[in-house]
Structure 1
């Protein structure tokens, strides 16, 4: 409790960064990630979704990983319910981001339902990197607004371009979505645990792809995280059992 109080004091009373610096960083993230909406538009149109359906996903769902997972499963011939389940589980992490940001941003109750639409990886990262609450709110707002506008605009352009090109497979554009997804994911894998989870998820997803219906391997790959954490816990218990000093403590 004391740590949370200290954090709240620092957020509200600490020495903040200049607004221009926060806006610059937030715009950099918003523009860099927002441009990848073009790849989603192409991938979604190539999977058979109509232009309104593609744009509705970006407007209403607005979480890239879930959107790519949904259209990827549909493109592979997966059941819509299975595809939606995979997208849902990927999007659950945003609820945990919301719990953390509710303390950091401390937004008025009337604003929270609207701000919830912008709680994604990028806005969370920018907000939590700020030293004060004012900076965090500014970073969240600029990142969310720039990313939301640009993501939806490039989604529309990508979908229109895919319709104009016709068969996206003939142009190799069906690989655009997975490529962008991996490009966004790779820099986030900083620890050994994160790399182990990602590696096991890839093994499960690709290994089960030939034997399970489309969309199901994605759900099974989600078990990689608890499996790795469980193995780490067992290893630590074993190490503690072998260490007499650990037993004394």
Structure 2
């Protein structure tokens, strides 16, 4: 006996099944997506604001003895502000180039952890991933992770990365060329602009007691060891703050079975 076809069957024939919100990496609470204009506005705001600080890096880099070509090569190839400032700062202080490079490298390692998360959200084709990896930094990660769906994540990542990369490299060139006209860069305090931007981005993320303890201990180690260790080495030692605090936190929880999990707010 043949089955009867209802109007509902006709309307739904050939249609892909509704998989519900949150499928394929989308945020469950925002399946409709975020307006394109809002994503672009937020991404450009971050890209332009941070990109302009490349001028400070160009001036600082040239003031530390690097040529215009070397300064621009760092921005083009390294493209992670905190690491770049750490490198030229250590060189300006007379540090060993290998020690300075090691400090810059360890500061840049955090981008690899950003990449692990963004690779799932972006889901880019394999051929594009090596190029996108160059833009995985604090700012692109922050904008991308704030988006509700994959389309917005890709748009936010692209707009932030493109605007920041272009502006950072352009202002690096202008800063390096104008370093001689500015004169003594130490007197202007321009070398503090990069670290200040990095701290401004980092501070709102320190929400738990454990995170704040790591930050405070790292600062104390840095300030205490600056007078006694070569330039660039205190940065490496300060990185030990994280495992030290986590070890103490683990011991505390082991001795107190009823202690709350996930850190105290």
Confirm or deny a common fold (TM above 0.5). yes
1:204 matched residue in structure 2? 221
> Does structure 1 residue 223 correspond to structure 2 residue 256?
no
Rate the CA distance shift 1:144–1:173 in 2: closer, same or farther, 3 A: closer
Segments of 5+ residues of structure 1 without an aligned counterpart are 245-249
> Does structure 1 residue 8 correspond to structure 2 residue 18?
no
Rate the CA distance shift 1:124–1:238 in 2: closer, same or farther, 3 A: same
Aligned length: 238
1:68 matched residue in structure 2? 85
Larger proportion of helix: 1
2:47 matched residue in structure 1? 30
Match 2:122 to one of 83, 93, 105: 105
TM-score scaled to structure 2, two decimals? 0.83
- Which has the larger displacement, 17-26 or 33-42? 33-42
Rate the CA distance shift 1:178–1:17 in 2: closer, same or farther, 3 A: closer
Is the CA contact (8 Å cut-off) linking 2:87 and 2:100 kept in structure 1? yes
1:132 matched residue in structure 2? 149
TM-score scaled to structure 1, two decimals? 0.88
Rate the CA distance shift 1:24–1:175 in 2: closer, same or farther, 3 A: closer
1:157 matched residue in structure 2? 174
Rate the CA distance shift 1:91–1:169 in 2: closer, same or farther, 3 A: same
Rate the CA distance shift 1:77–1:170 in 2: closer, same or farther, 3 A: same
CA distance in 1: counterparts of 2:212 and 2:179, whole angstroms: 34
Deviations 1:50-107 (A, max 9, x none): 1111111111000011111111111111100000001101111111111111110000
Rate the CA distance shift 1:183–1:165 in 2: closer, same or farther, 3 A: same
CA distance in 2: counterparts of 1:182 and 1:10, whole angstroms: 30
1:47 matched residue in structure 2? 64
SS in 2 for 1:15: coil
Deviations 1:22-61 (A, max 9, x none): 1011111111111111111121111111111111111100
Rate the CA distance shift 1:61–1:7 in 2: closer, same or farther, 3 A: farther
Is the CA contact (8 Å cut-off) linking 1:39 and 1:180 kept in structure 2? no
| RMSD over aligned Cα atoms | 2.2
Is the CA contact (8 Å cut-off) linking 2:48 and 2:164 kept in structure 1? yes
1:144 matched residue in structure 2? 161
Rate the CA distance shift 1:109–1:11 in 2: closer, same or farther, 3 A: farther
The alpha carbon displacement at 1:21 in A equals 0.8
Deviations 1:214-236 (A, max 9, x none): 11111101111111111111111
Larger Rg: 2
- Which has the larger displacement, 125-134 or 141-150? 125-134
Is the CA contact (8 Å cut-off) linking 1:35 and 1:150 kept in structure 2? yes
